[in-house]
């Protein structure tokens, strides 16, 4: 019998009120059921929000350094269980073990960073314009945070959101992706074991329509942090606006790696193979476009195709696998449909272009790493997020044209330029419209202590990671202390009063 998992509400593991469940299966072997999970609805959300609201009054009074101490214990527990967590993650979402180990490590790094931030929730003191008066601004908790996360980084992304929310003194109602509920459950188990009090962290499994939107629309949820598609992000923003919730949206990307005529081509090759086909292309920061200077185009594309053909598809738990499956059948169909769209628009298929269904791959949702050449900036495969192992290649004549092409999508998350020319590098840093720019490294590889996020339809301006996320999960309170013993009127012309 498959393992049965539960929701965690007010410190207790409970079934969905309806008693319904859904299956979580291994995308490398669809016959394997990883577990059964609660198919929750609004009643379960209501219970979780009620618990979080009641727990907030006491949790906000716990000193921030003490809240940080709990997250330090979380980091210790995650470190002890790193391989166990990584193997579970590979089984439920497919990426190779090397990458899932990295996913867990990012969560560990975020835990230790958050623990330290408990002692660094800095405010400001500034001089008053009046005598015998003290002015300061301090950071305060907001309330109940709704956390809605995707399946591609089922440990790292929840920790980016949950840990800062908790350190800042908020309580949490967490809805993970239905494709990766097991990793999320293990994270909540660790949080509870580390000492997070009942009601402070709650997890409700289920679909986005019933559970996710119920969290967004609930009047007792004060802020929402969501990572996912731009189309869903727009719906969340609209719904949350009705109650004036604070909302952080980290959405899609159509990231480009630029290779200039003076680039180290071997280094650029390593970058594009990792950026385009790592996580099977299922990253918001994946290298979805390759923009190559015409002087090195033929030479570089020859080695890119050769390198791509050497990548080995397979179960992510096997050391021989370089690229795992797509997360589910629908995602594979989406990827295949985009390849057909690209070919219909006039792109040229250099390698890949079809599902891999033979031998050991027949029970999983595998797709060959694919390269489309002769792509024009106006084509859909150059503008729309595919979220799979498909690389669209464009040719340019200058750094100015490369930047223009890089900017020519509705998104603006990550970007990359390979060059030895410092002028090219700094022109790209200045002019590329993206939240992240890498020089001589791929579009993937964000570090936990740095801001993460993008511009345009990639989000609504907030950043995750680093010190910036703590701004989202707290609000400023201005305090004036007048010890003069008399009424002093600020912003009054005392000479005429």
Q: Is 284 a catalytic residue?
A: yes
Hey, what are 315's tokens?
A: 């179960």
Question: Which band of pLDDT confidence, cut at 50, 70 and 90, is reported for residue 482?
Answer: very high
Q: What is the mean pLDDT of residues 305-322?
A: 98
Q: pLDDT tens digits for 451-465?
A: 999 999 999 999 999
Q: Is 238 a catalytic residue?
A: no
| pLDDT surpassing 90 at residue 228 | yes
Question: Which band of pLDDT confidence, cut at 50, 70 and 90, is reported for residue 417?
Answer: very high
Cut 0.95: pTM above it: yes
Question: Which band of pLDDT confidence, cut at 50, 70 and 90, is reported for residue 497?
Answer: low
Supply the DSSP string of 169-203, one letter for each residue. Answer: T-EEEEE--TTSHHHHHHHHHHHHHHTPPTTTEEE
CB neighbours (10 Å) of residue 143? 18
- What is the number of alpha carbons within 13 Å of residue 207 lying toward its C-beta? 8
Q: pLDDT tens digits for 10-51?
A: 999 999 999 999 999 999 999 999 999 999 999 999 999 999
Domain 7-251+459-478 = CATH 3.30.565.10 = no
Supply the DSSP string of 88-125, one letter for each residue. Answer: HHHHHH---HHHHHHHHHHHHHHHHHHHHHTT----EE
- Topology of domain 255-439 in CATH is Aldehyde Dehydrogenase; Chain A, domain 2 (3.40.309)
Question: Which band of pLDDT confidence, cut at 50, 70 and 90, is reported for residue 496?
Answer: low
Q: What is the mean pLDDT of residues 380-405?
A: 98
Residues 6+ apart with CB under 8 A from 76: none
User: Which residue out of 117, 217, 250, 385 is catalytically annotated?
Assistant: 250
Q: What is the mean pLDDT of residues 385-389?
A: 98
| pLDDT surpassing 60 at residue 484 | yes
Q: What is the pLDDT of residue 450?
A: 97
Q: What is the mean pLDDT of residues 247-273?
A: 98
Supply the DSSP string of 306-373, one letter for each residue. Answer: HHHHT--B--TTSTT-SB---SSHHHHHHHHHHHHHHHHHT-EEEE--SEE-SGGGTTS-EE--EEEE
Q: Where are the domains of the chain?
A: 7-251+459-478, 255-439
Identify the helix (H) or strand (E) that includes residue 399. Answer: helix 399-406
Q: What is the pLDDT of residue 2?
A: 86
Q: What is the mean pLDDT of residues 363-380?
A: 98
Q: With 0-12 CB in 10 A as exposed, 13-18 as middle and 19+ as buried, what is 130?
A: middle
User: Which residue out of 168, 284, 457, 464 is catalytically annotated?
Assistant: 284
- Among 191, 242, 184, residue whose Cα is nearest residue 218: 242
| pLDDT surpassing 90 at residue 243 | yes
With pLDDT > 70 as the criterion, what percentage of the chain qualifies?
A: 99
Pairing of strands 287-293, 366-367: unpaired
| pLDDT surpassing 90 at residue 494 | no
Question: Which band of pLDDT confidence, cut at 50, 70 and 90, is reported for residue 492?
Answer: confident
3-state secondary structure at position 435: coil
Q: What is the mean pLDDT of residues 142-164?
A: 98
* Positive or negative: CA dihedral 142, 146, 149, 155: positive
Question: Which band of pLDDT confidence, cut at 50, 70 and 90, is reported for residue 1?
Answer: confident
């Amino acid at each position: 019998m498959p393992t049965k998992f539960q929701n965690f509400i007010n410190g207790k593991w409970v079934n969905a009120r309806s008693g319904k469940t859904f299956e979580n299966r291994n995308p490398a072997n669809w016959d394997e059921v990883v577990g059964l999970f609660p198919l929750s609805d609004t009643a379960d959300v209501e219970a979780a929000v009620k618990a979080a609201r009641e727990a907030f009054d006491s949790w906000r009074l716990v000193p921030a350094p003490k809240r940080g101490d709990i997250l330090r214990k979380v980091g210790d527990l995650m470190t002890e269980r790193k391989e166990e967590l990584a193997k579970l993650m590979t089984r439920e979402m497919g990426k190779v073990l090397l990458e899932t180990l990295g996913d867990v490590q990012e969560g560990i790094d975020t835990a230790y960073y958050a623990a330290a931030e408990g002692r660094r929730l800095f405010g400001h003191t500034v001089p008053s314009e009046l005598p015998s008066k003290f002015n300061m601004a301090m950071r305060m908790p907001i309330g109940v945070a709704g956390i809605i996360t995707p399946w591609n980084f089922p440990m790292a992304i929840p920790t980016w959101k949950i840990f800062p929310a908790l350190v800042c003194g908020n309580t949490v109602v967490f809805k993970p992706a239905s494709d990766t509920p097991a990793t999320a459950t293990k994270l909540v188990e660790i949080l509870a074991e580390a000492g997070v009090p009942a009601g402070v962290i709650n997890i409700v499994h289920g679909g986005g329509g019933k559970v996710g939107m119920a969290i967004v629309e609930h009047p007792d949820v004060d802020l929402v942090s969501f990572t996912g598609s731009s189309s869903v992000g727009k719906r969340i923003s609209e719904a949350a606006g009705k109650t004036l919730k604070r909302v952080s949206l980290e959405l899609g990307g159509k990231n480009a790696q630029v290779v200039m005529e003076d680039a180290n081509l071997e280094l650029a090759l390593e970058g594009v193979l990792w950026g385009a086909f790592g996580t099977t292309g299922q990253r918001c920061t994946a290298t979805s476009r390759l923009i190559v200077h015409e002087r090195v185009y033929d030479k570089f594309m020859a080695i890119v195709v050769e390198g791509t053909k050497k990548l080995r598809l397979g179960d992510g738990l096997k050391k021989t696998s370089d690229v795992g499956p797509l997360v589910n059948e629908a995602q594979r169909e989406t990827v295949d449909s985009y390849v057909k769209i690209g070919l219909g628009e006039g792109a040229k298929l250099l390698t890949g272009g079809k599902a891999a269904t033979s031998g050991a791959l027949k029970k999983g949702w595998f797709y060959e790493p694919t390269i489309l050449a002769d792509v024009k900036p106006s084509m859909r495969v150059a503008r729309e997020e595919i979220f799979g192992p498909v690389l669209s290649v464009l040719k340019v004549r200058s750094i100015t044209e490369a930047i223009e092409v890089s900017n020519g999508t509705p998104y603006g998350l990550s970007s990359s330029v390979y060059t030895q020319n410092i002028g090219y590098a700094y022109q790209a840093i200045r002019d590329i419209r993206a939240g992240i720019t890498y020089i001589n490294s791929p579009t993937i590889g964000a570090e936990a202590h740095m801001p993460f996020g993008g511009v345009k339809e990639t989000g609504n301006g907030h950043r995750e990671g680093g010190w910036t996320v703590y701004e989202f999960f707290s609000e400023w309170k201005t305090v004036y202390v007048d010890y003069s013993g008399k009424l002093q009127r600020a912003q009054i012309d005392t000479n005429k009063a």
